[in-house]
Amino acid sequence: VQLVESGGGLVQAGGSLRLACVASGFSFDELAIGWFRQAPGKGREGVSAFIKYEGRTEYDDSVKGRFTMSVDNAKKTVYLQMDSLKPEDTAVYYCAVERRPVIPGVVLRWGLAFGFWGQGTQVTVSS
């Protein structure tokens, strides 16, 4: 599994950014894919996830109504459209894929174990 994120940057509060993650080495039909973020001094938290084999998309409460996750299956790319950004959204954003079987060190969220990670992209929201 390989994941390459892009699209981070510096934006003012209230602005928008769109992150992209190009994925390879697996099928969206078989494994869930999601976005996580990690702010300085904090743990990695789940932002959103697309679970095609269960027909559901999940969002953390902190981003519902502001962030939208989408998938382009032909391009093997997932996007995270982030609108109405707030300073508290500042973090490194990671693309992640479910890992089965589970191994030590996975991050659990929405009943799934995420164990493959991209390199991350920095998002900074100024007030």
Q: What is the pLDDT of residue 119?
A: 97
> Residue 120 corresponds to which amino acid?
G
Place of tokens 């599994």: 1
Burial of 111 (C-beta count, 10 Å sphere; 0-12/13-18/19+): exposed
Alpha carbons 30 and 47: distance in angstroms, whole number:
20
Q: What is the pLDDT of residue 49?
A: 98
Question: Residues in the chain with pLDDT < 70?
Answer: none
Q: What is the pLDDT of residue 90?
A: 98
Q: What is the pLDDT of residue 40?
A: 92
Alpha carbons 33 and 72: distance in angstroms, whole number:
12
Q: What is the pLDDT of residue 70?
A: 97
Q: What is the pLDDT of residue 77?
A: 98
Q: What is the pLDDT of residue 25?
A: 96
For residue range 31-67, what is the model confidence (pLDDT) as tens digits? 999 999 999 999 999 999 999 999 999 999 999 999 9
- Check if the beta carbon of residue 4 is closer than 8 Å to that of residue 121: no
Q: What is the pLDDT of residue 122?
A: 98
Place of tokens 């500042």: 90
Burial of 50 (C-beta count, 10 Å sphere; 0-12/13-18/19+): middle
CA-based radius of gyration for the chain: 14
